[in-house]
Amino acid sequence: MNVEIRETMDGSQTLYLGELDEHYHSTFGAIQESQHVFIGAGFKQCGQNEIRVLEIGFGTGLNCYLTLLAGLGTGKKVWYNAIEKFPLPEKVWDKLEFTNHFPETNPEWYRLIHQALWNCGVEVQHQFLLHKIEADLLDLEWDHLPLVDLVYFDAFSPEKQPELWSRSIFEKIFDRMNPKGILVTYCAKGIVRRTLQSIGFEVERIPGPPGKREMIRATKYR
């Protein structure tokens, strides 16, 4: 893969994908963005003792890693499902230094997340079960997914991958969500918001992470 490791403004790293001219995370701060969008606006809004998560775009594994850390000490059990068409090779993810920002935690958890076998369930930590699915979102057998409480929609931007931001994809996601399920994404584009609303989500535009004025949080109430 034609990827470069680049440092972001909060000192954490991201990847730059040359063929799409796209970064995996915000250049204003990779960890800051993930913490704000997916943990603060998503995971921490779920009151269940067991939370089933679906991530669209596993990428560097940062959202997964931060979710594991966020669940520590809460008593919550997390069932984490992630879909990725192009898993990163070890020679790339092994150079990322996300664990350096959390010295009080077990640095092996990030490695275990990446070393977990694809397409089967793996216990990374006794309260955190991971199922990574290597698949093209457009060809996914959605009926094989469990019903989920929380969706991290972290695909590349609509300008770069418009086919992943289609009504058809969001309808399939809606159908795999439990009542009161939450979807969060860094994107705040009007067309995405209107598409989500037309499917049946109640959509909020809430403050975004550093460098972005707004983001979207959508809730399934029926």
**pLDDT reading at 2 higher than 90:** no
Q: Which domain holds residue 104?
A: 29-220
In a domain, 142, yes or no: yes
Across the chain, mean pLDDT equals: 96
In a domain, 6, yes or no: no
Q: How far is CA 32 from CA 3, 39, 91, 149, 220, in A?
A: 21, 10, 24, 23, 26
- Structure token pair of residue 99: 């664990």
Query: pLDDT (tens digit, 9 = 90+) per residue, 124-171?
Result: 999 999 999 999 999 999 999 999 999 999 999 999 999 999 999 999
The model's pTM is 0.97
Counting Cα atoms < 13 Å in the Cβ hemisphere of 116 gives: 28
In a domain, 150, yes or no: yes
Percent of the chain with pLDDT over 90: 98
Q: How many domains does the chain have?
A: 1
Amino acid at 40: G
The 10 Å Cβ neighbour count of residue 198 is 12
Question: Which segments of the chain are extended strands (E)?
Answer: 3-7, 13-17, 22-23, 50-56, 77-84, 121-125, 128-134, 148-153, 177-185, 201-207, 214-220
Could you give the CA distance from residue 191 to residue 168 in angstroms, rounded to a whole number?
A: 14
The CATH number of residue 72's host domain is 3.40.50.150
